[in-house]
Structure 1
Amino acid sequence: MAVPAAASVRDANRYRPPRVTGLVDLLDAQVRERPYARALVVTGERVQLSYRALASLADEVAARLGGAGLGRGDAVGLICANTAEFVVALLGAARAGLVTAPLDPALPESQLSARLAALGARAVLLDASVSGRGVMLPAPAWSLRVDVSGAGTAAVELETGVCGQAQVSGAADELSERDALVLFTAGTTDRAKMVPLTHANVAASLRTICATYELGPDDATVAVMPFFHGHGLFAALLSSLASGGCVLLPERGRFSAGTFWDDMRAVDATWFTAVPAIHEILLDRSEREYPGPQAPPLKFVRSCSAPLNTATQRALERTFGAPLLSAYGMTESSHQATSEPLPQRGALRQGSVGRPTGVAVRVVDRSGRSCPAGVEGEVWVQGPTVARGYLADGDESARTFVDGWLRTGDLGALDEDGYLSLTGRIKNLINRGGEKISPEHVEDVLAGCPGVAEAAVFAMPDAVYGQRVGAAVVVREPDGVGREEILRYCRDHLAAFEVPDRLELVAALPYTAKGGLDRKAVQARYAS
């Protein structure tokens, strides 16, 4: 593919990989060499926060957390939107030697509590939007606030209380100060897998991402994806800070299509990364909202976390005047495992998610033997970004991590040049715009609704989100609970993205001869 005229070509001799060993020293090189360079652009007024100011705030939070009785290797939860509070809390906790577990603020209180209890978090850091909800959590909840003035000066407020004597419980006894993060994968409330990532895992991931896209101090982006996922955390936030770039955090800490291009122009963005669903939204609105010649020239656009169809990719490239690079990764691989290269560094392959980046990738058959080029099998990944296993789940760790290889559960094929194409998933998770949803979990919640006898959850094809959530429900009494009551129950017990987009009341569900739910029959009968 030819390089679009608007895409910049960087002199390879100018690129320098970031000198980081983890979250602890993420800012150090920039504070020494470029202390007053902008690190973040925050609030609705788009105020710039320098690397020196950000490091000072993180150091203050670290001191307060240490003074509250937290020790090195202790786990803390972090429930924040994409705000300055998230960044300051994450880096402050790292500087205090703590292990941070970011959680989705939109999760119901029951799920937040279950995950924090399973982890054994000794404290939870919240921003104002969460603390104002008055949620009850199984650990001391401390509200954190960052006030940024128009002049770029900032102050942090954090009332910690005292944790007292450490009583390690849950999975936290498997952690140490070499660990940086615990990220939760998709799963049921009490069975969501906990992935521990060390500072070495983090550093390897950031070096790889920065090298793949040649990120540096001249680059800037807008935070589109949430930071409690690896996509937004590693690819947008941490890689930008490690490379000396700048990240704009949208007002209220979440993506808004209506302000996206104004945000991009305000920060002179050179790239951004998103899931296909957001790319589709931006493309659909481009005729009336894309600023054309007034848009900042983009070096590239990145897509990850779900498949992007070729037609959309080409349309985005034509509209935005930049190459769209597909990438692939998992929480267990510290996000990125493969990516298409910058056009001046290699060819773009239709339908591919690129070549391995900093890891080894193989495709194996059911016997664990490597498949020939072009033959489909399960994708396995090995390298310095791969986690050591799951916390408090030895059986699942043994199944997923084999002789240093991560069994991804994804199906794909490698071509002769090492480019990976994905062909599907082995497991039956529903992928709604990058959000991975467990149908079993949604079924369990539906079954708990008064008046519901049984339920089957399935994926419905969708042009924007890739898949949406459908449900077929059998009620106990024909004149009993209705559709709207069931959906209201779901909204109270599920994250917003898990709530079925379509719910049908049916007389019976199909079962296999062995007595299990026949998911293929459910899909064929109800998904169209």
Structure 2
Amino acid sequence: MPTINDILATGDDNAVAISGLDRDDLTFAGLRAHVNNTVLRLNMLGIGRNDRVAIVLPNGPEMASAFVAIAAGATTAPLNPAYKQDEFSFYLDDLKAKAVVVEAGSDSPAVAAAQSLGIPILSLTTRPEHPAGLFELESPDGYAAEPCASPGASESDDLGLILHTSGTTSRPKIVPLTQTNLAATARNVATTLALDPTDRCLQVMPLFHIHGLMAGVLAPLRAGGGVFCTPGFDALRFFGWLDSVKPSWYTAVPTMHQAILARAARNKEIVGASKLRFIRSSSSSLPPQVFEELEATFNTPVIEAYGMTEAAHQMTCNQIPPGQRKPGTVGPAAGPDVSIMSESAPTLLAQGETGEVVIRGENVTPGYENNPDANAGAFDDGWFRTGDQGFLDEDGFLTITGRLKEIINRGGEKISPREVDDILMDHPAIAQVVTFAMPHKTLGEEVAAAAVLREGTEASEKDVRDFASERLAAFKVPRKILFLDEIPKGATGKLQRIGLAEKLGLTD
């Protein structure tokens, strides 16, 4: 199945493909017809294969179907609707977008950004009587389309999706993903999770991020199953959706799981009646304590996976029962080849040795766009360097010890913030924690942590430091611990270590 069109061929005509709030369901027959009509419409507007279409839409069935339908005949570039005009201007120019899709009547700053760059705006319209995900694309008044250079359905080597890296420490890099890349990951996720047509995913992840697009949308469609598209994650509404939608699974980042757990006790009846076959977690490390609480609360397996944009999402994944699940690991290879390489040379390391995680396979991007320096540093002897540090155990399960850029260098002592997180999460008063580096005049970097306390509990900085001192070497114990109502997160809900010291005023 090398293209999105091939992926969509799996589902039974009458099976539900996409659902949404207060809308009729869209069947696979309806979705396939909609995809074909959308590609024809794009071709009429002069947009074809490998032309870039930015999508600025809120989460929901139209965002999901727009990604699928546009990627079937062009290159999609979903952008975070929360960006400001300057950010939209940067991304639209960098992408060389041929059009921007927004909701009809949208007041998004993307509109002004596109207008300033002379990029046509396509208005997405829906009708209440139409099924969820069905839409039409309207061109602006006076739009004169040039003939489409490459009409028709996308082929396996065409680009289906373009995303930017987060750019935490450098200018965001463009990650192009081919139809083959996308199809490979959809297959890998569906196979790893043993998805079938009876499964229904509750899609809560942002759809401008690889996690939601691949695991939350394409993988279930590839299995012939359904996707219920929410307006985005909302811990207060989650249990209502769980009750009414009756999904067989959902996928989320750890902070979302923690927010769900914080409200689970108030929704015991819904939790007890839920039909979840499993819960999936990815995009950042799931603390073992959260893993265990999730499994105990929902009485279902928690499957932790490891993914990144450059791999079109999934690289490794713990196994569905009766396979193994190892809390604290991200499982064995689940699609691409996975190994550990020396950080300083293209030498693969032995089982148990710690080094940089490397991957290769048909899901891996062909390379950053227009960035030879980045490609030279990322690709080594046929392997892609992920920038993550870890090791493989005797069963081939991968443990991530941290991002190489996040490792704290305290006067020459290297400290994994993940290791400190795991210890601090055992403190009975701590609900959430993130360990990070803060500047130090003589050591270069010192260990700091930000924590959120469990409701109704108390703890002092000394309490937590004493707790850590009994379990960690002295140089790993945080010298500064801040208690916050909420830890700052990125756009996808992930806790971000890099830059946190500055955000919290610890750089003076």
TM-score (norm 2): 0.76
State the secondary structure of the residue aligned to 1:259.
Answer: helix
The equivalent residue for 1:57 is: 34
The equivalent residue for 1:461 is: 450
CA distance in 1, matches of 2:274, 2:132: 27
Q: CA deviation at 1:412?
A: 0.2
CA distance in 1, matches of 2:162, 2:314: 17
State the secondary structure of the residue aligned to 1:380.
Answer: strand
The equivalent residue for 1:356 is: 333
Matched, 1:396 2:374: yes
Q: Which of 50, 56, 60 is the matching residue for 1:79?
A: 56
Q: Deviations over 1:403-445 (max 9, x none)?
A: 32110000000011111000011124999xxxxxxx9xxxxxx
The equivalent residue for 1:39 is: 17
Q: CA deviation at 1:504?
A: 6.0
Q: Deviations over 1:101-148 (max 9, x none)?
A: 111111222112211111111111113585455532232121212324
Q: CA deviation at 1:153?
A: 8.0
CA distance in 2, matches of 1:167, 1:28: 25
Matched, 1:90 2:67: yes
The equivalent residue for 2:86 is: 110
Change (3 A) 1:323 1:428: same
Q: Deviations over 1:344-388 (max 9, x none)?
A: 1x2222311100011111112232322222221100011111111
Q: Deviations over 1:479-507 (max 9, x none)?
A: xxxxxxxxxxxx9xx9798997985668x
Q: Is the 8 Å Cα contact of residues 174 and 368 (structure 2) preserved in structure 1? A: yes
CA distance in 2, matches of 1:338, 1:316: 20
CA distance in 2, matches of 1:131, 1:26: 34
State the secondary structure of the residue aligned to 2:6.
Answer: coil
Q: Is the 8 Å Cα contact of residues 73 and 176 (structure 1) preserved in structure 2? A: no
The equivalent residue for 2:250 is: 272
Matched, 1:140 2:120: yes
- Amino acid of the structure 1 residue aligned with 2:10: A
- Amino acid of the structure 1 residue aligned with 2:56: I
CA distance in 1, matches of 2:105, 2:202: 21
CA distance in 1, matches of 2:95, 2:313: 21
The equivalent residue for 1:127 is: 103
The 5 A counterparts of 1:20-419 are 20-30=1-11, 34-43=12-21, 45-95=22-72, 97-128=73-104, 130-131=106-107, 134-137=111-114, 138=117, 139-149=119-129, 152=131, 156-161=135-140, 162=143, 164-165=145-146, 178-187=158-167, 191-250=171-230, 253-292=231-270, 295-344=273-322, 346-365=323-342, 366-419=344-397
Q: CA deviation at 1:71?
A: 2.9
5+ residue gaps, structure 1: 1-19, 169-174, 432-438, 440-455, 465-490, 510-528
- Amino acid of the structure 1 residue aligned with 2:96: G
Q: Is the 8 Å Cα contact of residues 10 and 223 (structure 2) preserved in structure 1? A: no
Q: CA deviation at 1:83?
A: 1.9
Q: CA deviation at 1:460?
A: 4.8
CA distance in 2, matches of 1:356, 1:293: 31
- Amino acid of the structure 2 residue aligned with 1:461: A
Q: Is the 8 Å Cα contact of residues 45 and 148 (structure 2) preserved in structure 1? A: no
Q: Is the 8 Å Cα contact of residues 331 and 397 (structure 2) preserved in structure 1? A: yes
CA distance in 2, matches of 1:338, 1:419: 8
Q: Is the 8 Å Cα contact of residues 353 and 391 (structure 2) preserved in structure 1? A: yes
- Amino acid of the structure 1 residue aligned with 2:402: G
Q: Deviations over 1:29-52 (max 9, x none)?
A: 32xxx2121111113x25322122
- Amino acid of the structure 2 residue aligned with 1:28: A
CA distance in 1, matches of 2:491, 2:250: 26
- RMSD over aligned Cα atoms: 3.6
Change (3 A) 1:407 1:293: closer
State the secondary structure of the residue aligned to 2:113.
Answer: coil
User: Across the two proteins, how many residue pairs are aligned to each other?
Assistant: 429
CA distance in 2, matches of 1:504, 1:415: 37
Q: Is the 8 Å Cα contact of residues 380 and 408 (structure 1) preserved in structure 2? A: yes
Q: Is the 8 Å Cα contact of residues 74 and 176 (structure 1) preserved in structure 2? A: no
Q: CA deviation at 1:56?
A: 2.5
CA distance in 2, matches of 1:186, 1:193: 8
The equivalent residue for 1:516 is: none
- Amino acid of the structure 2 residue aligned with 1:53: G
CA distance in 2, matches of 1:423, 1:74: 39
Q: Is the 8 Å Cα contact of residues 62 and 92 (structure 1) preserved in structure 2? A: yes
Percent sequence identity is 34
State the secondary structure of the residue aligned to 2:135.
Answer: strand
5+ residue gaps, structure 2: 150-154, 408-416, 419-436, 438-444, 454-487
CA distance in 1, matches of 2:367, 2:235: 37
- Amino acid of the structure 1 residue aligned with 2:39: A
* Bigger RCO (CA 8 Å, 6+ sep): 1
CA distance in 2, matches of 1:500, 1:141: 36
CA distance in 2, matches of 1:416, 1:153: 47
Q: Is the 8 Å Cα contact of residues 41 and 267 (structure 1) preserved in structure 2? A: no
- Amino acid of the structure 2 residue aligned with 1:258: L
